[in-house]
């Protein structure tokens, strides 16, 4: 059972206090999207065996959504940051690059 530090309230919460919310940084496809764009937005998932950017809600806590960068095999946590952003913070990207030089990036 994993533990993540909520960037909003600073609590290091265990999984039972959190709710997972799937892949982060998806771009919403609205009414004008093509079928392919809409399908991709709703379903196509990167699902990497490696670094994942995933949404979590501190549900049994401050109730806020945040994003965790985590390794999907080792469960190493590279960092967490508030969900109110469209891309991961630069310093976090640096941290991950340093840990995994072969990492192909978050997109």
Partner 1 sequence: MSDMVSALNGARFEGFAEITETGLCGMVQIRADLASAGLAQALGGLGLSVPGRRAILSAGDLELGWMSPDELMLFCPRDRAAAITQQLAQALGGEHAMVLDVSDARVRFSIRGEKADQVLMKLCPVDLPTLPQGEIRRTRAAQTAVAFWRVDGGLDLIAFRSVAGYVMGLLKHSARPGAELF
Partner 2 sequence: MRRYSVFAIAREAMRYHEGWERAWPAPTPKPRYDVIVVGAGGHGLATAYYLGKNFGITNVAVIEKGWLGGGNTGRNTTIIRSNYLQDPSSAIYEKARSLYEGLSRDLNYNVMFSPRGLLMLAQTEHEVRGYKRTVNANDLQGIETRWIGPQEVKDLVPMINLHGPRYPVLGALLQERGGTARHDAVAWGYARGCAAMGMHILQNCEVTAIRSENGQVSEVETTRGTIGCKKLAIVVAGHSSVMAEKAGFRLPVESMALQALVSEPIKPMIDVVVMANTVHGYLSQSDKGELVIGGGTDGFVNYSQRGSWQHVEETIRALIETFPPISRLRMLRQWGGIVDMTGDRSPILSKTPVGNIFINCGWGTGGFKAIPGSGWAMAELVANGEPGPLAADFGLERFREGRFIDESVAAGVAH
Partner 3 sequence: MTRRITRLDRGGRLIDRARDITFCFDGRRIPAHPGDTLASALLGAGHVLQGRSFKYHRPRGPVAAGAEEPNALVTLGGRARMEPDLRTTTTEAFDGAEARSQNRWPGLGLDLLAINDRLSAFMPAGFYYKTFMAGRSWEKLFEPIIRRSAGLGPAPTEADPDSYEQAYAFADVIIVGGGVAGLAAALEHGRAGARVWVLEQTPHWGGRAVVDAEADGATIDGLAPEAWVKAALAELEALPNVTLRTRMLAAGLHDHAHLIALESVADTTPGADLPRQRLWRMRAGKVIVAAGALERPLSFPGNDRPGVMLASAVRDYIVNWAVSPGKRIVILTNNDDAYRTALVALDAGIAIPAILDLRKTPNGPLVQAVRDRGVRILPGHSIAKVLGSKQVKGIALCRHESRGEAWLERIPCDAVAMSGGWSPTVHLWSHCGGKLAWDTEAAFFAPDPDKPPLGADGKAMAQCVGAAAGALRLDACLASAMSAAPQVETPAEEPIQPVWVTPAEAGPHLRAKMWLDFQNDVKVSDIQLAAREGYQSVEHAKRYTTLGMATDQGKLSNINGLAILSQALDQPIPATGTTTFRPPYTPIGFGAIAGEARGEIFQPLRRTAMDAWHEDQGAHWEPVGQWRRPYCYPGKAEPHSAAIEREVLAVRNSVGMLDASTLGKIIVKGPDAGRFLDMIYTNMMSTLAVGKCRYGLMCSENGFLMDDGVVARLSEDTWLCHTTTGGAEAIHAHMEDWLQCEWWDWKVWTANVTEAYAQVAVAGPNARKVLEALGGVDVSREALPHMSWTAGPLGGFDARIYRISFSGELGFEIAVPTSQGMALWSRLLEAGKAFDIRPYGTEALHVLRAEKGFIMIGDETDGTVIPQDLGLNWALSKKKADFLGKRAHQRSFMASPDRWKLVGLESLDGSVIPECAIAPAPGENANRQRNTQGRITSSYYSPTLKRGIAMGLVHNGPDRMGEEIIFNADGKEVTARIVSPVFYDPKGEKLDV
Judged by the rule CB under 8 A, the positions of this chain that interact with partner 1 are 8-11, 13-14, 16-17, 60-64
Residue 53 in contact with residue 22, Cβ under 8 Å?
Answer: no
- Judged by CB under 8 A, the chain residues 44 through 83 that form the site for partner 2 are 44-49, 52, 54, 72-75
106 counts as binding partner 3 under rule CB under 8 A: no
Q: Which window, 43-51, 57-65, 78-86, 91-99, contacts partner 2 (CB under 8 A)?
A: 43-51
Measured CA to CA, the distance from residue 66 to residue 69 in angstroms comes to: 10
Closest residue by Cα to residue 53 from 85, 29, 14, 17 = 85
Q: Is 103 helix (H, G, I), strand (E, B) or coil?
A: coil
9 counts as binding partner 2 under rule CB under 8 A: no
20 counts as binding partner 2 under rule CB under 8 A: yes
Of the candidate residues 17, 23, 54, 77, the single one contacting partner 3 (CB under 8 A): 77
Residue 98 partner contact from Zn ion, partner 1, partner 2, none using kind-dependent CB cut-offs of 5 to 8 Å? none
In sequence order, what are the residues at sequence separation of 6 or more whose Cβ sits closer than 8 angstroms to the Cβ of residue 57?
Answer: 18, 19, 21, 63, 64, 65, 66
């Amino acid at each position: 059972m994993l533990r993540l530090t909520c960037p909003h309230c600073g609590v290091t919460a265990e999984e039972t206090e959190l709710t997972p919310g799937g892949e982060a940084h998806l771009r919403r496809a609205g009414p004008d999207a093509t079928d392919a764009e809409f399908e991709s937005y709703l379903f196509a998932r990167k699902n990497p065996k490696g670094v994942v950017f995933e949404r979590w809600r501190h549900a049994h806590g401050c109730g806020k959504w945040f994003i965790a960068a985590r390794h999907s095999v080792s469960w190493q946590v590279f960092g967490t940051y508030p969900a109110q952003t469209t891309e991961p913070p630069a310093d976090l990207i640096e941290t991950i690059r340093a840990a995994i030089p072969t990492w192909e990036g978050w997109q």
